[in-house]
Every structure is written in C-alpha cells, then in structure tokens.
Amino acid sequence: MTKTGARAVADGVLLAAGVAAAYVIVTTPPLRRLAFRATRVWLGASIPVYLVRQLRQAWVESAAH
C-alpha cells in the first residue's frame, strides 16, 4: 500500500467514525443536550476572546502610524 492509499483509507475511517459519533449524539437526547451546552459555552468563551484580540491588534496598529 502506498502512502497516498494509506492516507485515503485513514481519512475514510475517520470520516466514518465522525458520522457515527454525530448520529449517536443527535439520536440520544442527553448527549444532544450536552453537545448543545458545550457548544454554547465554547462560543460564549471564544467569540469575546477573538473580538478582544482583534480590538487590541487594531489599537496597536493604529498607534504605529
């Protein structure tokens, strides 16, 4: 088996595992609620941090001119 073939097989296995996990999460109500809560927490933390970084970078770049 070539390196390219092995990579394609590995990608296919990972894709199948991801689809299976998504199916289990979507069809199991407690897991679905947990996934939605985790997504809300992640978005609630990452978006403000991103905005603050962008604001700081803009502030620094505006002072350079």
Tens-place pLDDT, residues 2-48: 999 999 999 999 999 999 999 999 999 999 999 999 999 988 889 89
Q: Can you give the residue range of the structural domain that contains 18? A: 3-64
* Structural domains in the chain (count): 1
DSSP 65: -
Within a 10 A sphere around the Cβ of 9, how many other Cβ atoms? 11
Report pLDDT for 10.
Answer: 97
pTM recorded for the entire structure = 0.60
* Rounded Cα distance, 33 and 39, in Å: 10
How distant, in Å, are the alpha carbons of 30, 40, 49 from that of 37?
A: 11, 5, 19
